[in-house]
């Protein structure tokens, strides 16, 4: 099954006898704002207009637990995540489509969590809300309670030790911007640089100017040029396990399975005992 869906195919699916559950996961990374500029409010954006029937899901509160030593967006409590998905109407026997404002990172985080916890039919709207050409609604949906029960472990997950080992035994992609990988800038975490052995593969290079994913063949060629292939085990990390999920999604579109290191750089760099590499060379 393709991990992404076009806006046209979503419109057709919504008109089918078994329409998907729609989740709106609009979110923006919290960084320093200009004086007087309010933080992004995904719930307010949803209230102002969303794909008909879409239920808002809060990434920071429902797709992650509180920030701390395990990173800025650690895995959510599984029971709480399951309850949030059931409130949103998620059922085991109905497909799910997730979208965000267009960047795709937050939608990919929801996609990955649902896949990791065992949902068999989850897709991301390619291009996000910006790609949707149908009408929007402002009414707050009131879905019937779902029945989804999470069963973690359906897709691979890395912890810090496994990520550090994979950087040498297989292939570990760093999905952040190149300047953060090289350690030239670090706007959020304790120190700049990358996990020794990791290969720079910014997730922003997996999409075109319209925010849609590159064709699968182009993605396969891109990841192949970076070392993926020949049954090599692949992992991904980013800053806090959000944009990294988007890279795992891009790899899935390319037909390459990959594990996610959810703690990512925010966890790795918080421990002064862990090694840090800087510059363009992986090691």
What are the catalytic residues?
238
CA distance 247 to 30: 20
Token output for 223: 């990841």
Q: Which residue reads 């089918």 in tokens? A: 16
Nearby residues of 8 by Cβ (< 8 Å), 6 or more positions away: 133
The two tokens of residue 206 are: 């997996």
Q: What's the full length of the chain, in residues?
A: 283
- E strand segments, the chain: 4-5, 21-24, 55-56, 96-99, 122-125, 157-158, 171-174, 199-200, 234-237, 259-261
Instruction: Lay out the sheet containing 259-261: strands in order across.
Output: 157-158, 259-261, 234-237, 171-174, 199-200
d(CA 216, CA 56): 29
Angle in degrees, 0-180, between the axes of helices 243-253 and 216-225, rounded to the nearest 10: 110
Distance CA 123, CA 119 (A): 11
Interatomic CA distance for residues 170 and 234, integer angstroms:
6
- Residue recorded with tokens 């989740």: 23
Distance in Å from the first CA to the final CA of the chain:
36
**Using an 8 Å Cβ cutoff, are 130 and 6 in contact?**
no
């Amino acid at each position: 099954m393709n991990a992404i869906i076009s806006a046209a195919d979503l419109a057709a699916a919504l008109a089918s006898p078994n329409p998907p559950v729609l989740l709106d996961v609009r979110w923006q990374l919290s960084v320093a704002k200009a004086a007087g500029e309010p933080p992004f409010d995904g719930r307010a954006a949803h209230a102002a207009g969303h794909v008909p029937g879409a239920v808002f899901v809060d990434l920071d509160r429902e797709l992650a637990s509180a920030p701390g030593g395990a990173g800025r967006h650690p895995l959510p409590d599984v029971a709480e995540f399951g309850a949030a998905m059931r409130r949103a109407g998620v059922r085991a026997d109905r497909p799910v489509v997730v979208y965000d404002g267009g960047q795709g990172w937050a939608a990919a985080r929801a996609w990955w969590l649902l896949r990791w916890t065992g949902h068999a039919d989850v897709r991301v709207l390619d291009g996000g809300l910006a790609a949707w050409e149908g009408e929007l609604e402002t009414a707050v949906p009131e879905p019937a309670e779902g029945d989804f029960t999470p069963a973690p472990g359906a897709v691979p997950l890395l912890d810090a030790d496994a990520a550090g080992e994979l950087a040498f035994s297989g292939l570990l992609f760093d999905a952040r911007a190149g300047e953060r990988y090289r350690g030239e800038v670090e706007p959020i975490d304790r120190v700049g640089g990358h996990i020794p052995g990791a290969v720079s593969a910014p997730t922003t290079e997996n999409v075109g100017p319209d925010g849609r994913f590159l064709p699968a063949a182009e993605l396969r060629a891109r990841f192949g040029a970076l070392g993926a292939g020949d049954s090599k085990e692949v992992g991904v990390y980013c800053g806090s396990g959000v944009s990294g999920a988007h890279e795992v999604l891009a790899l899935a579109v390319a037909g390459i399975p990959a594990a996610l290191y959810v703690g990512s750089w925010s966890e790795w760099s918080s421990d002064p005992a862990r090694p840090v590499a800087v510059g363009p060379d992986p090691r």
